């Protein structure tokens, strides 16, 4: 690629994508679903805002409501499976192990 020779990227690029997110802890049977909002997303993880306490090491399933790219485009969700790697007051960061794009249920 022109102009990029010699550049080493230490971590995935982060994209400031603010979207509604619904998440649950997968290490609990019939877990409650919580709401939040993404701050940024990369190929390796997601940073999101939440009012709930999240602790490092908790396994998560997150469903990010993606924006429609065009009026005729289908509505889709980004389903992420991962683990919380950093947490603070009002936010959490998760390392993503699996991802899938799914049509939004009607």
The residue ranking higher by pLDDT, 8 or 81, is 81
The residue ranking higher by pLDDT, 11 or 15, is 15
Give the chain's domain count: 1
- C-alpha 20/C-alpha 67 separation (Å) is 10
pTM for the predicted model, two decimal places: 0.83
The residue ranking higher by pLDDT, 98 or 13, is 98
Parent domain of 34: 20-103
CATH number at residue 77: 2.40.10
For residue 6, tell me if it sits in a domain. no
- C-alpha 83/C-alpha 67 separation (Å) is 24
For residue 75, tell me if it sits in a domain. yes
For residue 46, tell me if it sits in a domain. yes
Residues 6+ positions from 1 with CB-CB distance below 8 Å: none
Span 21-46, pLDDT tens digits = 999 999 988 999 999 999 999 989 99
Span 57-98, pLDDT tens digits = 999 999 999 988 888 888 999 999 999 999 999 999 999 999
> What are the backbone dihedrals phi and psi of residue 79, each rounded to the nearest 5 degrees, phi first?
-95, 125
Q: Which residue has the tokens 């469903």?
A: 63
List the alpha helices (DSSP H) in 1-106: none
- C-alpha 51/C-alpha 36 separation (Å) is 7
Name residue 63's beta-bridge partners. 22, 79
Q: Which residue has the tokens 């959490």?
A: 92
For residue 69, tell me if it sits in a domain. yes
For residue 82, tell me if it sits in a domain. yes
């Amino acid at each position: 690629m022109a102009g990029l020779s010699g550049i080493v990227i230490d971590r995935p690029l982060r994209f400031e994508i603010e979207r509604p997110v619904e998440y649950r802890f997968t290490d609990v049977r019939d877990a409650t679903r919580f709401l939040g909002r993404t701050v940024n997303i990369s190929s390796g993880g997601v940073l999101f805002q939440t009012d709930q306490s999240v602790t490092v090491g908790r396994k998560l399933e997150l469903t990010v409501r993606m924006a429609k790219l065009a009026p005729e485009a289908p509505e889709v969700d980004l389903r992420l499976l991962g683990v919380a790697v950093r947490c603070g007051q009002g936010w959490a960061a998760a390392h993503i192990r699996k991802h899938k794009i799914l049509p939004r249920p009607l």
